[in-house]
């Protein structure tokens, strides 16, 4: 598997109710931390976009990404999965729900 294939494979493994960071995903796929900048581009090329759990991939420290267009839907997804996000877009239970891929063999 090449880097892009590993990124997609790993992104699809993030369990419901858990999140990972762009950097952790890049490292788990075999690249350095700076490769985190390429994660969105890699995933955006995956043909089945609806399968990608975009809301489970967050910035370091638990900061979430959204625009006005995406905020309502993402807040709904977070709430359904028990992920607590404050009004500043920060996951308050981040340390409890971080998924670091060590559980994948």
Structure confidence by residue, pLDDT tens digits, 32-70: 878 988 999 999 999 999 999 999 999 999 999 888 888
Is 27 contained in some domain? yes
Is 103 contained in some domain? no
103 neighbors 28 (Cβ within 8 angstroms):
no
Closest CA to 92 of 104, 105, 73, 78: 78
Is 71 contained in some domain? yes
Is 104 contained in some domain? no
Structure confidence by residue, pLDDT tens digits, 87-98: 999 999 999 999
Is 73 contained in some domain? yes
Residue 36 sits in a domain of what CATH number? 1.10.10.10
Is 63 contained in some domain? yes
pTM: 0.92
pLDDT of residue 32: 83
The total of structural domains in the chain comes to 1
């Amino acid at each position: 598997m090449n880097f892009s294939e590993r990124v997609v494979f790993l992104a699809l493994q993030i369990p419901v109710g858990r999140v990972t960071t762009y950097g952790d995903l890049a490292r788990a796929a075999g690249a350095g931390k700076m490769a985190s900048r390429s994660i969105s581009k890699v995933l955006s090329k995956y043909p089945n976009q609806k399968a990608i759990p975009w809301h489970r991939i967050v910035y370091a420290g638990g900061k979430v990404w959204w625009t006005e267009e995406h905020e309502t839907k993402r807040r709904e997804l977070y709430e359904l999965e028990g992920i607590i996000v404050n009004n500043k877009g920060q996951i308050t239970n981040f340390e409890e729900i971080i998924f670091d891929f060590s559980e994948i063999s």
